[in-house]
């Protein structure tokens, strides 16, 4: 029989695996060894101090939630760090650290167990508790490191960056209201959104700034409906001076939330409050949005972020290394910037893998080591694929025009291609069935579910069909 700590940790891993990219899971979670459970404290061993800090900086919320889920509200996690494994005869010295609740742990390990209910500093506070009557005090949710200082300028982002800067100098008073920043994933929308918020706070400490992800907004709205306090919800948002809403494409198909956002938007706009939005598409291509809301999005400025050129990519990596106080040979930095051209997040992911690898094996970072790592990384990463991209690949494969794929036609070949597009969208993206349906010919979630079942059945029973699926899958991963 498995030991309890092993079993609990395995269950945690299963949850974690579902919530982060595979590469991150492999890098940061596979090397962790569960040691014991005592007094509902799970002790795990991590390979180095760097490792521990990385986990704390990046996965604290996920860890906290997972531990709570698997071990109950009184569950705790403690780390045991291998201080030196170069002398094998010596038993590893272990230090038990509780999981801290905030950044900056590096110099001051706190000797208190983690309280899962406290210090949820990166989660949105309950918006309905408005302490005091005079001045609204809310947690802005801004991440310090996503500053303008750390946002490298290049041709790829010049317009968006300078518009963002102008907005931060003069919130609500420029023509850029709303300012909508759009791009594919990993190109800096979130970073720029935070940078604007931070800069406003620096320029105007009294202004109320709120950054939030659209999903948080949607969830808060749902809660307010459940608790029957929608008015409080609306009032809360109307008191904000600068509202930064990230990834508004998630509003697609959410009519009620769009409705409420429409009112909040109007109120803020009329009162010269600043609105900053980000999205993965330009406004004209956003689907499932109410026309009146879409027309509002077009009032201000829509600026895009492009894939940076080689020079800018190098500058971004150097900036990152500088901020983290890490040195790396120029040739390695250049090789990295040269090899990874898709987006900045992947490039940073590769950088981190190299650092982790070097730290784990106590090797110095050489071009050879970097090459090995990057080659593996490029091969292993499953890119984030969009529904649009999937549709394009499926259409190219069967040689049908995109508008036919998304039309109402019931012709057999078209239906099948459409079902495949839905199936791959479910498989490769994180979109909900409803969103997939919406984008694939305005169908509902039940149709998408049916499509996935049909495709799975055909894969099992029809060899030729299975062949199609395999070939398209390969093309998607090119």
Residues of this chain that bind Mg ion (CB under 5 A): 189-190
Residue with tokens 């090797």: 363
Whole-angstrom Cα distance, residue 420 to residue 467? 12
Rounded (5°) CA angle 266-269-274? 135
In the list 139, 259, 348, 388, the residue contacting ligand ADP (rule: CB under 6 A) is: 348
For residue 377, which of 405, 395, 356, 350 has the smallest C-alpha distance? 350
Stretch that binds ligand ADP, among 184-192, 266-274, 411-419, 430-438 (CB under 6 A): 184-192
E strand intervals along 144-236: 179-182, 209-213
Question: Given the DSSP bridges, would you call strands 33-38 and 41-46 parallel, antiparallel or unpaired?
Answer: antiparallel
CB 159 to ligand ADP: min, Å: 13
- H or E element at residue 428: helix 412-428
CB 463 to ligand ADP: min, Å: 40
Q: Is 344 in the site for ligand ADP (CB under 6 A)?
A: yes
Whole-angstrom Cα distance, residue 117 to residue 76? 11
| Partner touching 23 among Mg ion, ligand ADP, none, CB below 5 to 8 Å by kind | none
Stretch that binds ligand ADP, among 35-43, 68-76, 95-103, 180-188 (CB under 6 A): 180-188
CB 66 to ligand ADP: min, Å: 23
In the list 75, 186, 253, 349, the residue contacting ligand ADP (rule: CB under 6 A) is: 186
Whole-angstrom Cα distance, residue 99 to residue 52? 9
CB 183 to Mg ion: min, Å: 9
CA 386 to chain centre: 14
For residue 216, which of 301, 302, 137, 139 has the smallest C-alpha distance? 139
Q: Is 297 in the site for ligand ADP (CB under 6 A)?
A: no
For residue 84, which of 35, 47, 117 has the smallest C-alpha distance? 47
Q: Is 189 in the site for ligand ADP (CB under 6 A)?
A: yes
Q: Which residues pair with 277 in a beta bridge?
A: 180, 245
Binding mask 12-51 for ligand ADP (x = CB under 6 A): ----------------------------------------
Which of 76, 428 has the CB closer to ligand ADP? 428
Q: Is the peptide bond before 178 cis (omega within 30 degrees of 0)?
A: yes
Which of 33, 185 has the CB closer to ligand ADP? 185
Q: What is the largest CA-CA distance in the chain?
A: 72
For residue 439, which of 289, 256, 278 has the smallest C-alpha distance? 289
Which of 209, 405 has the CB closer to Mg ion? 209
Q: Is 185 in the site for ligand ADP (CB under 6 A)?
A: yes
Q: Is 143 in the site for ligand ADP (CB under 6 A)?
A: no
Binding mask 191-210 for ligand ADP (x = CB under 6 A): x-------------------
Which of 178, 188 has the CB closer to ligand ADP? 188
Which residues lie near ligand ADP (CB under 6 A)? 150-152, 157, 183, 185-191, 316, 319, 344-345, 348
């Amino acid at each position: 029989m498995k030991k309890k700590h092993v079993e609990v940790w395995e269950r945690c891993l299963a949850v974690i695996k579902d919530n982060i990219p595979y590469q991150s899971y492999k890098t940061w979670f596979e090397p962790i060894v569960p040691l014991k459970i005592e007094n509902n404290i799970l002790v795990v061993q991590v390979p180095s101090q760097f490792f521990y800090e990385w986990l704390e900086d990046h996965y604290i919320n996920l860890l906290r939630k997972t531990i709570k889920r698997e071990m109950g509200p009184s569950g705790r996690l403690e780390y045991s760090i291998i201080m030196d494994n170069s002398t094998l005869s010596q038993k590893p010295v272990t230090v038990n650290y509780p999981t801290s609740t905030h950044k900056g742990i590096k110099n001051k390990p706190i000797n208190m167990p983690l309280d899962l209910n406290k210090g949820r500093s990166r989660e949105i506070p309950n918006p309905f508790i408005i302490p005091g009557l005079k001045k609204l005090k809310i947690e802005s949710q801004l991440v310090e490191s996503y500053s303008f200082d750390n946002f490298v300028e290049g041709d790829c982002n010049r317009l968006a960056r300078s518009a963002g800067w102008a907005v931060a100098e003069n919130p609500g008073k420029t023509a850029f209201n709303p300012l909508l920043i759009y791009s594919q994933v990993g190109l800096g929308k979130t970073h720029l959104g935070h940078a604007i918020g931070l800069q406003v706070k620096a320029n105007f400490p009294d202004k109320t700034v709120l950054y939030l992800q659209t999903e948080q907004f949607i969830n808060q709205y749902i809660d307010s409906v459940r608790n029957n306090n929608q008015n409080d919800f609306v009032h809360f948002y109307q008191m904000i001076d600068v509202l930064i809403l990230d990834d508004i494409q998630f509003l697609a198909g959410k009519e009620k939330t769009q409705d409420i956002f429409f009112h909040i938007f109007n109120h803020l706009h009329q009162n010269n409050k600043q609105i900053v939005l980000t999205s993965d598409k330009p406004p004209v291509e956003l689907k499932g949005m109410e026309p009146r809301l879409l027309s509002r999005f077009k009032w201000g400025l829509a600026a895009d972020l492009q894939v940076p050129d080689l020079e800018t990519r190098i500058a971004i990596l150097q900036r990152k290394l500088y901020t983290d106080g890490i040195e790396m040979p120029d040739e390695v930095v250049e090789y990295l910037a040269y090899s990874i051209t898709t987006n900045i997040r992947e490039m940073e992911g590769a950088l981190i893998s190299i650092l982790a690898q070097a730290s784990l094996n106590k090797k110095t970072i050489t071009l050879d080591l970097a090459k090995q790592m990057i080659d593996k990384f490029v091969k292993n990463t499953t890119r984030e694929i969009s529904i649009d991209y999937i549709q394009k690949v499926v259409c190219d494969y069967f040689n049908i025009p995109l508008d036919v794929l998304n039309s109402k036609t019931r012709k057999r070949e078209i239906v099948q291609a459409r079902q495949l597009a839905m199936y791959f969208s479910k498989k490769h993206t994180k979109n909900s069935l409803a969103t997939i349906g919406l984008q694939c010919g305005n169908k509902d979630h039940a149709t998408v579910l049916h499509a996935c079942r049909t495709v799975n059945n055909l894969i099992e029973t029809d060899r030729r069909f299975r062949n199609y699926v395999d070939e398209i899958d390969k093309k998607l991963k090119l």
